[in-house]
Amino acid sequence: MPDASTEMRTTTCYMCACRCGIRVHLRNGEVRYIEGNPDHPLNKGVICAKGGSGIMKQYSPARLTKPLRRKPGSERGANEFEEISWEETFDILEKRLSHLRATDPKKFALFTGRDQMQALTGLFARQFGTPNYAAHGGFCSVNMAAGMIYTIGGSFWEFGGPDLERAKVFYMIGTAEDHHSNPLKSALGDFKRNGGRFVAINPVRSGYAAIADEWIPIKPGTDGALILAIIREIIALGLYDRDFLARYTNSGQLVNQDEASNEFGMMLRNPEGDVVNPLRPHNFYWWDRLTNQPVPDHTKGADPTLYGSFSMPDGTPVKPAFQLLKERVADCTPEWAAEITGIDAATIKRIAHEMGITARDQKIELPIPWTDWWGEEHETVTGNPVAFHAMRGLAAHSNGFQTIRSLAILMSLLGTIDRPGGFRHKAPYPRAIPPNARPPKGPEGVQPNTPLGGAPLGWPETPDDLFVDAEGQPVRIDKAFSWEHPLSAHGLMHNVITNAWRGDPYPIDTLLLFMANMAWNSSMNTSQVRDMLVDKNADGGYKIPFIVVCDAFQSETTAFADLILPDTTYLERHDCMSMLDRPISEFDGPVDAVRIPVVSPKGECKPFQEVIIELAGRLKLPAFTTAEGARKFKGYPDFVINYETAPGSGIGFLAGWRGKEGDKAMRGEPNPNQWEMYEKNGCFFQYHLPPSSQYMRNWNKEYMEWAQQAGLRRDNDPIVIHIYSELLQGFRLAAEGKRAGKQPPDELRERISTHFDPLPFWSPQLEDADTDLKKFPLNALTQRPMAMYHSWDSQNAWLRQIHTYNHMYVNSRTAEEAGIADGGWMWAESKWGKVRCMCRYSEAVEPGTVWTWNAIGKASGAWNLTKDANESQQGFLLNHLISEELSPRANGKRHSNSDPITGQAAWYDVRVRIYPAEAGEPEQSYPQFPPMKPVPGMKQRKMGWQAWFAGRKETK
């Protein structure tokens, strides 16, 4: 097309959570192609299958284009809608929400799914005054975040990761393909080309594990046992990095061993020691092995004893934390773990030796002088080149928190934290253990017409930080930060609908869902959740009275809305990947990024950001309102430029080009031209720390002072690794009645006491305890394929050709024994439900596990696919087999099917049995639902042929 007008704009991808820099080429205003931005620090020019299919998302027939209201007189779920104007939409919302805010703000619940702007949605919820806010972290990987942050002050993915550039061996445990995506693929390619050794420990060999040098199949949910056995072997052979443990972890700190004392299991505090930070006192003791006496920790010239049992001058019996770890793993022999994991003991020993010898004998010494927090100057930065990565494979189990804590401890034993070749932090982490945000402490934090008295999501440090009432009962609808799962830092979105439906702890009025497919793949127990969404009270009103769904596309969930808000696509809006939230930082310094509109919004689509700003203005939420009561921000771009975390703080949503002239980084006055400056730089801002600040950042004086000044941390006290967690012990003491302050309900005391173990331990998944494992012997897993982002891409004409429907992958021998044919129809049944699906024999899955791709199966007619599309007829959803709650307890109440510490959804705990479908059964997946029809404003789907050629304006 020689006469076509062409144009190129940079922005940030949103085809998944990765957030690569992209260059969007337009021809006559249509998207010609989208390529990776070679100048972008995250993806350096590469782009994945999803990113390369953005065109088909932009022009998808599943796009919603008009605000819609459930047709008067129609039943919820019947998918009958009528168009209304935005003005009417805002009037409805303003009236309803201002009433709730003035009466009982917690009756409004805002839960967001694949939300990349939690800094804004969280601020809105907090300003509204509702505690009932969270994004999807609770059903994604909160165990990974919490397990690592409560141990080393940082975690995998956005906040840190494996330094594959310098690592020699790399262990990837469980499925982790989607976090990170492109950067990890690129790093793996370079790592292998450089001769690195890659070991995949996973029940399934697919994805990244395919290119591993060694695949070690493991039974799901047993990773904790494996890691503890490795820790034992490392300790047994003396392969730990003693210098690192002694100085940078709490291994040498003395723990009170007086069982009669209420301080049992807590670190001893030295009244004469330096408290450093009164909010988090650091006045610990070491037992100095050189003088054989207790001394303040980090006393110059002292060296802590790691093993042994001592008496303090006052007679208090104490042990160093590392002694307690040693005692804990004493029985965790490789033979013990072999029974549990299915990995033979010799292999367990071998990989432990591999890790230990590599860490010890292939040390990296970078000639970078730095000074630690205690003032000791170091001539070099040392690295032990053993790297790990894990995400949901470890996280999505009810024992995931302790498993991940075990992993973080193993990484610490090997001396790999924030060092070259090991694990490296990314800003804003490392942060204090735990970070400083706290939820409100009780129901008094929720008041009419008042912002919430704390952060909706945060990091409890002690039982007194829990968000419970005087009886110890939850204040949040999802029961986050209650005794049922105290450290639920990301909330429990997976229980919101069930709890609201049951009115436990209370009924709500309005549920606003953003970008979350809660009537399908984002819910456990999908069939019953769909019933709850339409269930009514005796008076004929819905149990959840008003449901608002904001999404760019028609999904299974939009059918259950009373009001649909049509969102824009990522190519049509302003957005930011904020340092206040989840930025895209690199190991060597903070990076944040923006999206800018590169095409105009379709129809009446409005970015959810603008909806939030508009509503906040109408509701006169304080942060969005001037002192005179007028609306403060013209819209989202204006908000991003001018909002400051506190008046004059100089910290806002974007860290780059601050200051009136745009010449300040991290902190500075608002800059009216900030968006333009981001755009000019390819829509990202990158800050390079000096080499002396790039490593050892838990204890690096120069970095810590800078981070405090830059507002990344409130304090600058050292972040000593918690090999032993006295924070967990605090909760255990409360459960044992040995701690003043908030007390758990009696029925939860044993649960708390068991799981809040200050030392890592492995226990079977909770669901195993009340499942007949003879009847349901197999584990069932899902994982996300690299070419699809959850439910989002079946509407995408190109991507759906890669994954049109899903099979159940079964080890060939297991399938044969069950009498199921390769390609044949089969049933998978748990004690909660059953699905009919097609079987695919596989030699790449361990015999006790069956698995499938997540969210390929769709409800008939959803996403504007025809009702006979393969996704709904052959594709299936495993979620029907997974319960959001465990079996009822003696008192009839049910716990969430989650980690008892963090509330992480235990997707991967489900147990199933499999058997062939009988002859004569329909060759169709089960369950089926009545087909959905398109709603007003959706364009006609193209039938037959489609030939996309940008610029001809034919296919639209």
Considering only residues 278 to 317 of the shown chain, the ones binding other proteins according to CB under 8 A are 289, 305-307
Q: What is the DSSP string of 798-853?
A: THHHHSSS-PEEEEHHHHHHTTPPTT-EEEEE-SS-EEEEEEEEESSB-TTEEEEE
Region from 26-34, 84-92, 154-162, 745-753 binding other proteins, contact rule CB under 8 A: 26-34
State the nearest-atom distance from the C-beta of 1 to other proteins, in Å: 9
Site for other proteins contains 36 (CB under 8 A): yes
Name which of 20 and 826 has its Cβ closer to other proteins: 20
Between 663 and 923, CB nearer to other proteins: 923
Residue 29 interacting with other proteins (CB under 8 A): no
Nearer to other proteins, 313 or 944 (CB): 944
Q: How far apart are CA 856 and CA 355, in angstroms?
A: 37
Q: Segment 750-789, which members bind other proteins (CB under 8 A)?
A: 786-787
Among the listed residues 169, 391, 417, 881, the single contact to other proteins using CB under 8 A = 169
Dihedral in degrees, nearest 10, Cα atoms 241, 585, 143, 210: -80
Minimum distance from CB of 167 to other proteins (Å)? Answer: 12
Q: Read out DSSP for 761-812?
A: -----HHHHTS-TTTS-EEEEEE--TT--GGGGTT-TTHHHHSSS-PEEEEH
Which string of x and - marks every residue 405-444 that binds other proteins (by CB under 8 A)? ----------------------------------------
Indicate the residue among 66 and 232 with the shorter CB distance to other proteins: 232
Q: Does 799 bind other proteins (CB under 8 A)?
A: yes
CB of 684 to other proteins, least distance (A): 18
Which x/- pattern, by CB under 8 A, does the window 223-262 give for other proteins?
Answer: ---------x--xxxxxx-x--------------------
Q: Locate 777 and state its tokens.
A: 């012997």
* Number of residues assigned to the chain: 956
Contact pattern for other proteins over residues 52 through 81, marking x by CB under 8 A: xx-x-----x--------------------
Q: Is 815 left (phi over 0), alpha (psi -120 to 50) or beta?
A: alpha
From the CB of residue 36, how many other CB atoms can be counted at a distance below 10 Å? 21
> Per CB under 8 A, which region of 74-82, 206-214, 394-402, 612-620 contacts other proteins?
206-214
Does 193 participate in binding other proteins (rule CB under 8 A)?
yes
Residue 239: left (phi > 0), alpha (psi -120 to 50), or beta?
Answer: alpha
Q: How far is the CB of 184 from other proteins (least distance, A)?
A: 8
- Does 931 contact other proteins by CB under 8 A? no
Least distance between other proteins and beta carbon 843 (Å): 4
For other proteins, which residue of 81, 150, 171, 208 counts as binding (CB under 8 A)?
Answer: 208
Give the angle 217-223-229 at the CA atoms, nearest 5°: 105
Minimum Å gap between C-beta 217 and other proteins is 5
Residues 6 or more apart whose Cβ sits within 8 Å of residue 91? none
Contact set for other proteins, span 804-863 (CB under 8 A): 804, 811-813, 842-847
Q: Is 798 in the site for other proteins (CB under 8 A)?
A: yes
Residue 195 in the binding site for other proteins (CB under 8 A): yes
Helix axes 608-618, 86-103, angle to 10 degrees: 50
Say whether residue 43 binds other proteins (CB under 8 A): yes
Find the binding residues for other proteins in span 609-668 (CB under 8 A).
none
For position 950 contacting other proteins by CB under 8 A, the verdict is yes
Q: What is the DSSP letter of 292?
A: T
Q: Which is nearer to other proteins, 354 or 588 (CB)?
A: 354
How far apart CA 382 and CA 376 sit, in angstroms, is: 15
Dig out the tokens for 67 from the structure: 């605000």
Check: CB of residue 480 under 8 Å from CB of residue 134. yes
Give the C-alpha separation, 481 to 764, whole Å: 23
Q: Which residue from 346, 946, 953, 956 is in contact with other proteins, where contact means CB under 8 A?
A: 946
Nearer to other proteins, 48 or 579 (CB): 48
Select the residue interacting with other proteins from 121, 206, 341, 499 (CB under 8 A).
206
* Pair type for strands 778-783 and 684-686: unpaired
Name the 3-class secondary structure at 449.
coil
> Under the phi-then-psi rule, with left for phi > 0, alpha for psi from -120 to 50, and beta for the rest, what region is 683?
left
| Integer Cα distance of 353 and 229 in angstroms | 12
Whole-angstrom CA distances from 344 to 216, 393, 574 are: 10, 21, 53
Amino acid of residue 1: M
Distance CA 242, CA 247 (A): 9
- x/- map, 866-885, other proteins, by CB under 8 A: x-xxx--x------------
Q: How far is the CB of 303 from other proteins (least distance, A)?
A: 8
Binding residue (CB under 8 A) for other proteins from 260, 470, 918, 945: 945
Minimum CB distance to other proteins, residue 408 (Å): 20
As a whole number of angstroms, the distance between CA 88 and CA 233 comes to 66
**Whole-angstrom Cα distance, residue 637 to residue 677?**
13
User: Please, what is the minimum distance in Å from the beta carbon of residue 396 to other proteins?
Assistant: 21
Please tell me whether residue 326 binds other proteins under the rule CB under 8 A: yes
Q: Cα–Cα distance between 293 and 532 in angstroms, integer?
A: 63
List 83's β-bridge partners, or say none. Answer: 68
H or E segment at 160? Answer: strand 160-162
For the bound state, the minimum distance from the C-beta of residue 550 to other proteins, rounded and expressed in Å, comes to 23
The alpha helices in 547-627, defined as continuous H runs, are 608-618
Please pick, from the candidates 144, 865, 905, 914, the single residue that binds other proteins as defined by CB under 8 A: 865
3-class SS of residue 318: strand
Beta bridge partners of 160: 157, 425
Q: Choose one: 41-49, 556-564, 695-703, 915-923; the region binding other proteins (CB under 8 A).
A: 41-49
Q: To the nearest whole angstrom, how small is the minimum distance from the Cβ of residue 12 to other proteins?
A: 17
Is residue 421 within 8 Å of 696, Cβ to Cβ? no
Comparing CB distances to other proteins, the nearer of 164 and 381 is 164
**Residue 49 contacts other proteins per CB under 8 A:** yes
213 binds other proteins (CB under 8 A): yes
Between 344 and 373, how does the x/- string for binding to other proteins read (CB under 8 A)?
------x--xx--xx-xx------------
Is position 552 an interface residue for other proteins (rule: CB under 8 A)?
Answer: no
Is 86 one of the binding residues for other proteins (CB under 8 A)?
no
Q: Residues touching other proteins: how many (CB under 8 A)?
A: 102
d(CA 342, CA 910): 18
Q: How far is the CB of 61 from other proteins (least distance, A)?
A: 6
Among 19, 101, 205, 751, binds other proteins (CB under 8 A): 205
Our CB check for other proteins shows the closer of 50 and 606 to be 50
Task: Residue 385: name the closest of 611, 145, 166 by CA.
Answer: 166
Q: Which is nearer to other proteins, 635 or 848 (CB)?
A: 848
- What's the closest the beta carbon of residue 867 comes to other proteins, in angstroms? 9
Helix axes 345-361, 223-237, angle to 10 degrees: 60
Shorter beta-carbon distance to other proteins: residue 239 or 466? 239
Return the range that interacts with other proteins (CB under 8 A); candidates 203-211, 374-382, 576-584, 623-631: 203-211
Closest distance between other proteins and the C-beta of residue 698, in Å? 21
Q: Residue 532 or 856: which CB sits closer to other proteins?
A: 856
Cβ contacts of residue 412 below 8 Å, gap of 6+? 151, 152, 244, 245, 248, 249, 721, 723
Max distance between CA atoms of the chain, in angstroms, equals: 90
Residue 874 CA neighbour count, 13 Å, CB half = 14
